[in-house]
């Protein structure tokens, strides 16, 4: 009942610094905070069940049709609704990857198969994915960049997978929730020519809006989108979430550019320092870092008020794999100092 399979469990213990989540280290944009504060009186009314203003703004900014966008209560909500609406029989997922894909597929009654990502290859997706796809799944989930490894699948390979899936009628689902941190372009330009392509994104990570729950799904197959939509409640996106989303979009493109510069610099600094402590560190592209350290590290850090993400519940990993989300330089320095102290004691 109380099992917690993700980062962010700051409610069952004392936590001063939460490195277990992967939201933007710059925090929520001030424009979003101001918009939320100014809009409180409007929350007495029901929200627009179709998120029309938000979808219109998203379509304009993303360069796609508004009818291809479905908003939801975060990416996790849309993953479940997608699985229930599409009703796949055989779902292919990578391992390790975000666990919600498998959970949603099992909820819909599908059989789930794992495509194992090789550690010696940096957990990167490679040409072997085509053999797995040829084996007959009717849905494939790809997290790009992947969580928890941060490995980025190049755009050229993404397009080849989209073509392969389209030719075989496989629903190709790309989770791009962390892509904005990397600078790599989205697969959105492929939507029109690939009705079997579905892209999921959210405001959660880039705009540090995890508590507001706002995500969106993009698909050019109108019939499929309507089936997915039918598995959500009538007011799945709250008024505060829609207000926050509109305000967040008003911060672009400056916000994303500033974020990418910050993440690039802090990733280099944090990973270099972790390696200097003798740890194995994986060079992902997102705003978080996967590394290996003694299994006791997490508990020792928690004793000091710092929470990091154990990756022991990811298929293919164990209790020696840890993930930390980037924070500010001062906060990152405190984490590094505490890790160094702990390693001197337990090594």
Domains in the chain, start-ordered, CATH in brackets?
A: 17-27+254-346 (3.90.1150.10), 30-249 (3.40.640.10)
Query: Quick one: pLDDT at residue 9?
Result: 57
Strand partners, 142: 174
Asked whether the bond before 148 is cis by omega within 30 degrees of 0, the reply is yes
Angle, vertex CA 134, rays to CA 131 and CA 138, nearest 5? 130
Ranges under pLDDT 50 in the chain: 1-4, 11
Mean pLDDT taken over the chain: 95
Task: Give the global pTM.
Answer: 0.94
Query: Quick one: pLDDT at residue 325?
Result: 96
The string over 37-66, giving b where at least 16 C-beta atoms fall within 10 Å of a residue's C-beta and e elsewhere, is eebeeeeeeebeeebeebbebbbeebebeb
60 DSSP 8-state letter: H
H helices of the chain, where? 30-38, 52-62, 75-86, 100-107, 129-134, 155-168, 222-230, 239-249, 254-276, 297-303, 329-346
Query: Quick one: pLDDT at residue 233?
Result: 87
């Amino acid at each position: 009942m109380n099992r917690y399979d993700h980062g962010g469990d700051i409610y069952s213990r004392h936590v001063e610094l939460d490195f277990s989540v992967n939201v933007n280290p710059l925090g929520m944009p001030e424009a979003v905070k101001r918009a939320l504060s100014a809009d409180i009186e409007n929350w007495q009314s029901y929200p627009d069940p179709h998120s029309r203003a938000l979808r219109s703004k998203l379509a304009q900014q993303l360069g796609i049709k508004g009818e291809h966008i479905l908003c939801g209560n975060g990416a996790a909500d849309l993953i479940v609704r997608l699985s229930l609406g599409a009703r796949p029989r055989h779902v292919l997922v990578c391992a390790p990857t975000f666990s919600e894909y498998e959970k949603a597929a099992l909820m819909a009654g599908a059989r789930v198969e794992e495509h194992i990502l090789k550690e010696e290859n940096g957990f990167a997706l490679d040409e072997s994915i085509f053999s797995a796809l040829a084996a007959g799944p009717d849905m494939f989930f790809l997290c790009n960049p992947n969580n928890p490894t941060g490995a980025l699948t190049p755009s050229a390979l993404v397009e080849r997978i989209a073509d392969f899936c389209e030719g075989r009628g496989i629903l190709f689902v790309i989770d791009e929730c962390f892509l904005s941190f990397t600078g790599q372009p989205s697969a959105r330009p492929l939507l029109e020519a690939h009705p079997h392509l579905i892209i999921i994104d959210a405001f959660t990570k880039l705009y540090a809006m995890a508590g507001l729950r706002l995500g969106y799904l993009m698909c050019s197959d109108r019939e499929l989108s309507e089936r997915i939509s039918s598995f959500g409640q009538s007011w799945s996106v709250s008024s505060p979430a829609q207000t926050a989303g509109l305000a967040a979009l008003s911060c672009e493109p400056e916000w994303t550019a500033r974020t990418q510069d910050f993440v690039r610099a802090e990733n280099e600094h944090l990973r270099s320092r972790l390696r200097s402590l003798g740890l194995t560190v994986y060079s992902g592209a997102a705003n978080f870092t996967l590394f290996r350290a003694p299994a006791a590290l997490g508990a020792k850090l928690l004793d000091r008020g710092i929470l990091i993400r154990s990756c022991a519940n990811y298929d293919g990993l164990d209790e020696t794999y840890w993930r930390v989300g980037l924070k500010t330089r001062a906060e990152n320095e405190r984490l590094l100092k505490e890790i160094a102290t702990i390693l001197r004691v337990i090594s």
